[in-house]
Amino acid sequence: MSAAFPARDAIDEALVRALVREQFPQWAGLPVAAVRESGNDHRTFRLGDALVARLPADLGFVPQVAKEQKYLPFLAPHLPVPIPAVAGVGRASALFPAPWSVYGWLAGIRPDTVRVRDDVALAERLAHVLVALRRTDATGGPAPGQHSAFRGDPVSQWDEQVTRRFDLLDGSQRDRARGVWRDALAVEFTGPPVWLHGDVAIGNLLVDTSHRLSAVIDFGCSAVGDPACDTVIHWTQFRGPARRVFRDVLDLDDATWARGAGWTLWKGLIMLTNITPGEKQFAERVLGEVLSV
């Protein structure tokens, strides 16, 4: 990859059209349209009615591309809902200095953020997906690292980031945060390593018109390691019966839930320093949930 990596805004529809003409001439006549909610790590474009082009948005996300291309076909048969299916393997070229992918389009919409809080059926089905993922043979799978944003590694890696943010909290929350973090650090993962998604968030779920979970997407942060990070949605989204059924079906030990609370605390504290009002409000709500345990 000798050429400079383009700015995010330069990864646009014109570039995708040119890449498709260069590498997949059979699809050159298909219309290209940017997907509005395409995430942070990759830029996603609708390619006709049945395909999606997915390009890494920054040099740091390039390792995710080959990982997804290699492991998504392996994982798919083991999971109870569809995940992205590789339709084309794009190569680095003078047009774009990194590998990229073409996937089959998965029909569905993002879950409603209000409804999902009490959606027992969605929580149960998602937990079954994560259980199936965890039970899939992890032999030779990718160990955590930069490619997974260190998901699956010990939560202790964030100790400095967390402890220096305790002063952002008031007295009672600060004391509780110290306790949650202390508990998370006290119970190290002892294995065996298992498959994890790495970014189980509402933006990576699709539902059908009946609000039934229809697909899980974006395995860029997937790895084989500690599954504690996959519990974070328990605090960030689910409430009441939905939260209870998610926890029951997931069937993890108390130590994993303690580390999951640590991951959630880290996420909330990081987002608390973001300048976007919406993110700050979300962080305050998440911290309220994980610190009320």
Report DSSP letters for 62-121, one per residue. Answer: HHHHHHHHHHHHHHGGGSSS----EEEEE---SS-SS-EEEEE----BPPPTTGGGG-HH
All structural domains of the chain, each given as residue ranges with its CATH number in brackets, are: 8-104 (3.30.200.20), 115-290 (3.90.1200.10)
The model carries a pTM of: 0.95
pLDDT < 70 stretches in the chain: 1-3, 293
Residue 118 β-bridge partners: none
Per-residue pLDDT, 263: 98
Per-residue pLDDT, 1: 42
Are 235 and 262 a contacting pair, CB within 8 Å? no
Residue with tokens 């039970």: 135
Per residue in 17-45, pLDDT (tens digit) is 999 999 999 999 999 999 987 778 999 99
Identify which of 248, 222, 244 has the alpha carbon closest to the alpha carbon of residue 235. 244
Per-residue pLDDT, 151: 98
Q: Which DSSP letter does residue 137 get?
A: -
CA distance 238 to 249: 14
